[in-house]
Every structure is written in structure tokens, then in C-alpha cells.
């Protein structure tokens, strides 16, 4: 048995020299946070890279979600997905809003637009879908429903950095899109996040966000809203500037990992690989695999355990579904049967740019040996 441990992810980092070069100017300016030069530079570069008119940088992706909802001044119910990281739902609840869970599509795991309208009540104020694993939601259908019922659409775009849909950056869709720049994401600022929106939204919503992330302070003598502290500091922005120089290469290398996995696992009965979507330029953020025990011969938990025995650490991501978690026990996970089923049968395999081809082959060999 090969003993070298393989973890599910490994953060992308610039060289030590590149980073230290980038942070030199911080010693010269002695400006550590509060919209410093690195922050402003990263903001502009991200606007270009993501192809969006406004970017508001924040401490993390969770605050992007939480402050977007607060900045819109919403009240009532928000339709969302249970097949996500718990942050999405927590952001809704921590704003005093009520999450209403909509089931997902079985092929790309995003919110099923055909199931949204039956969940709309007079209290519904917004839809918060998730481009899960980097799979783009049914943007047109969701937008149509939102317009018809006058609902805001805030995308959790934490998995979608750099993705383009129909030739346009994903950040430009919906009323706002929220990104995470956490260490484990395709692009990282160590910890960090951003809210993106168009120029029209930036006028009111964007300006409010800029105050909200700084306690709600408008100027020295005016505090208009009750905000937390969610500002990105200069060291994180500097990391972002370095990583942004390499992100295209990062995605290209992830594609090689993706292709190798597909070559190994495609066509095996009972294994469902991630959807390949039309009109989408992907970022290969994750490699989810869904196991059908009847057809494959082993279920997700058996494969997970076997991989672990072989020092390979995959993740049951997302398990449990959010509406099956302890803190959301007033919900019945069986009300979203597809999400329930997927959360019990999906495994995300190790995925990062420096994962070796031989390591991928070793992972796939262990998986294949679990089958019948
Ligand atoms: C990572 C993630 C978040 C939270 O982002 P942080 O930067 O870790 O706060 C929210 N939603 C989804 C879907 C995520 O994957």
C-alpha cells in the first residue's frame, strides 16, 4: 500500500519571494487595512478579471452573503437550496429571514426552477441559489420567476470563480453574486470574499455595502446602519494580487486533473460524474462523484472508508444536507428528496492543481476495486 497521504484539497500559493515582494510596500506605507493600496488594486483587477462593474472586497465569503442580504433590507422568506455549505443558510437566518428549501436538479445539483413557484408565498422576498461545485444555475428561468414575482436574486457564487456563462463573467448575473476567497477555493486571499454587482446596483446597494462592512459608518459623524467589521486587510489583498497572476494556470492544471479522473471513471456503471454544461467555461473547482450502490456494487460510505484505509481523504461534501442538520431540525429533509439522496451518495474526490497523474490513477484504482 502506498502510504503518502492525499487530502481533498491543497491551497494554491505564490512563491515566498513573490509574496514578500508584494507586501514590501505595506511597510513603506504602514497602511494595514481600511481600503489601502493593495485593496484598491485587487478590487480593480478583479473587476477586470471577473468582467463585472462593481466588486466590494470583504473578510470572507460568508460576510458577502450576510451583508448582501442586509444591504437589500429584506424581510420575510428566502427560497434557497439545502444542497450547499451551511454558510448560505446561516447568512439568511442571521439576518432574521426564514429559509425555504427548494429541491435540486439530479444532474447538476443546482436549484430546480420548476419547484420554485410552488414555494412562493406573500412573504417571499428573495431567491438565493448556489452555483454548486461550479455548476451554473438555471439563470434565465430563475431570473424570469424573480421578475414575475418581484424577488431579489442573490447568487452564492463561492464555487464559481472565473467561470463564464454565455461569454460573460458569472459575477454579472442576478442582483448580486457572492464569492469566497477562502484558502480552499480556486482563487484565494487566505480568507476573503467579495460581492459583485452591476453599475446600477452599485449606486445604492454597493455604497451601502461599503459602509456596512465598516460598522455602518458613513462618515466621521454619521453611522447609518448597524454593521459588523468585514473589511479585507492589506496582507490578504496582497495574497490575492499574487494568486490572481497565476489563476489561469491554476485552472488549466485543474483541467488536466479533471480530464484524468474522467478518463479513469467514465463509463463505469453506477458512477455519475459531474455534468458538463452547455455555454459554460468551467473552473474545475471540485470533482464530485455520485455512487449508485445497486449498479456500482458499493455505496458512498463504503468507497469513502476504502479510500481512507488507503490514506486518501475524500469528502462527503455536502453531507448532511442543510435541512438535515441539528441546528435546522424544524425542517424535514425528506421534503427535498433529490437533495437528500444526493447528500447520501456524493463524494468529492481530491482536486487541486498540483495533484499528480499517478496519484489520480491510484485514487481511481481504489474506487474501481470497490465495485462489483
Ligand atoms: C466557502 C463557501 C462559503 C463561505 O465562504 P467563506 O469564505 O469560507 O466564508 C459559502 N458558500 C459556499 C457554497 C462555500 O463553498
- 198-242 tens-digit pLDDT: 999 999 999 999 999 999 999 999 999 999 999 999 999 999 999
For 287-316, what is the mean pLDDT? 98
Which among 111, 4, 47 is positioned nearest to 339, based on CA atoms? 111
Ligand 1 geometric centre to CA of 3 (Å): 31
**230-to-43, 59, 116, 129, 195 alpha-carbon distances in Å:** 15, 5, 32, 23, 12
- Mean pLDDT over each residue of the chain, to the nearest integer: 97
What residues have CB less than 8 Å from 354, skipping those under 6 apart? 10, 253
Pairing of strands 193-197, 176-180: antiparallel
Cell readout for 330 is 424544524
Cell readout for 110 is 443546482
Cell readout for 294 is 445497486
> What confidence score (pLDDT) does residue 208 get?
98
Residue 103, pLDDT above cutoff 90: yes
Residue 65, pLDDT above cutoff 80: yes
229 DSSP assignment = B
> What confidence score (pLDDT) does residue 3 get?
72
Asked whether 89 lines ligand 1 (CB < 6 A), one says no
pLDDT tier for residue 1 given thresholds of 50, 70 and 90: low
Q: Percent of the chain beyond pLDDT 90?
A: 99
Asked whether 156 lines ligand 1 (CB < 6 A), one says yes
For 114-127, what is the mean pLDDT? 98
Ligand 1 geometric centre to CA of 261 (Å): 25
Asked whether 251 lines ligand 1 (CB < 6 A), one says no
Which among 338, 340, 335, 342 is positioned nearest to 100, based on CA atoms? 335
Distance CA 130, CA 121 (A): 21
Q: Percent of the chain beyond pLDDT 70?
A: 99
Cβ atoms of residues 240 and 229 within 8 Å: no
Distance CA 223, CA 173 (A): 31
Distance CA 256, CA 275 (A): 17
Cell readout for 222 is 454619521
Q: What pTM does this model have?
A: 0.97
Cβ atoms of residues 26 and 38 within 8 Å: yes
Q: What is the DSSP string of 277-320?
A: -TTEE-----EEEEE-HHHHSS-HHHHHHHHHHTTB--B-TT-S
Ligand 1 geometric centre to CA of 372 (Å): 36
For 350-371, what is the mean pLDDT? 97
Residue 269, pLDDT above cutoff 70: yes
pLDDT tier for residue 359 given thresholds of 50, 70 and 90: very high
Residue 372, pLDDT above cutoff 90: no
Cβ atoms of residues 264 and 113 within 8 Å: no
Q: What is the DSSP string of 79-142?
A: EE-SSS-HHHHHHHHTTT-EEEE--B-TTT-SB-GGGTGGG--TTEEEEE-B-GGGPPP-HHHH
Contacts of 142-150 spanning 24+ positions with Cβ under 8 A: 142/111, 142/113, 142/116, 142/174, 143/173, 143/174, 145/113, 145/116, 145/117, 145/120, 149/117, 149/120, 149/124
* Residue the block writes with cell 454544461: 277
What residues have CB less than 8 Å from 19, skipping those under 6 apart? 13, 238, 239, 242
- 159-185 tens-digit pLDDT: 999 999 999 999 999 999 999 999 999
Asked whether 134 lines ligand 1 (CB < 6 A), one says no
CA-nearest residue, atom 7 of ligand 1: 61
Asked whether 66 lines ligand 1 (CB < 6 A), one says no
Task: From the CA of 181, give the closest atom in ligand 1.
Answer: 7
Cell readout for 165 is 456563462
H helices then E strands: how many in the chain? 12, 15
Estimate the crossing angle of helix 16-29 against helix 234-265, to 10 degrees.
160
Amino acid at each position: 500500500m502506498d502510504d503518502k497521504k492525499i487530502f481533498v484539497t491543497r491551497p494554491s500559493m505564490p512563491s515566498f519571494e513573490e509574496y514578500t515582494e508584494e507586501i514590501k510596500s505595506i511597510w513603506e506605507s504602514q497602511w494595514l487595512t481600511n481600503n489601502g493600496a493593495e485593496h484598491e488594486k485587487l478590487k480593480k483587477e478583479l473587476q477586470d478579471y471577473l468582467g463585472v462593474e462593481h466588486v466590494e472586497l470583504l473578510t470572507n465569503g460568508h460576510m458577502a452573503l450576510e451583508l448582501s442580504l442586509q444591504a437589500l433590507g429584506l424581510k420575510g422568506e428566502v427560497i434557497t437550496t439545502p444542497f450547499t455549505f451551511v454558510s448560505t443558510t446561516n447568512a439568511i437566518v442571521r439576518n432574521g429571514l426564514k429559509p425555504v428549501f427548494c429541491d435540486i436538479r439530479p444532474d447538476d445539483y443546482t436549484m430546480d426552477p420548476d419547484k420554485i413557484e410552488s414555494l412562493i408565498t406573500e412573504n417571499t422576498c428573495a431567491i438565493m441559489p448556489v452555483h454548486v461545485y461550479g455548476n451554473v444555475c438555471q439563470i434565465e428561468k430563475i431570473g424570469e420567476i424573480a421578475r414575475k414575482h418581484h424577488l431579489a436574486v442573490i447568487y452564492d457564487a463561492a464555487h464559481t470563480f472565473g467561470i463564464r456563462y454565455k461569454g460573460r463573467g458569472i459575477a454579472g448575473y442576478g442582483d448580486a453574486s457572492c464569492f469566497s476567497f477562502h484558502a480552499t477555493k480556486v482563487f484565494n486571499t487566505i480568507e476573503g470574499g467579495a460581492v459583485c454587482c452591476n453599475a446600477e446596483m452599485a449606486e445604492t446597494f454597493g455604497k451601502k455595502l461599503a459602509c456596512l462592512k465598516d460598522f455602518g459608518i458613513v462618515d466621521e459623524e454619521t453611522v447609518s446602519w448597524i454593521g459588523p467589521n468585514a473589511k479585507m486587510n492589506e496582507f490578504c489583498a496582497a495574497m490575492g494580487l499574487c494568486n490572481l497572476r497565476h489563476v489561469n494556470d491554476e485552472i488549466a492544471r485543474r483541467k488536466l486533473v479533471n480530464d484524468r479522473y474522467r478518463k479513469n471513471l467514465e463509463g463505469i456503471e453506477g458512477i455519475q460524474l459531474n455534468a458538463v454544461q452547455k455555454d459554460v467555461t468551467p473552473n474545475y473547482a471540485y470533482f464530485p462523484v455520485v455512487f449508485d450502490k445497486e449498479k456500482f456494487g458499493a455505496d458512498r460510505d463504503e468507497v469513502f472508508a476504502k479510500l481512507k484505509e488507503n490514506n486518501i481523504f475524500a469528502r462527503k461534501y455536502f453531507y448532511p444536507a442543510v435541512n438535515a442538520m441539528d441546528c435546522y431540525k424544524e425542517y424535514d429533509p425528506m421534503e427535498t428528496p433529490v437533495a437528500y439522496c444526493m447528500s447520501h451518495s456524493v463524494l468529492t474526490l481530491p482536486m487541486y492543481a498540483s495533484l499528480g497523474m499517478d496519484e489520480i490513477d491510484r485514487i481511481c484504482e481504489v474506487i474501481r476495486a470497490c465495485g462489483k
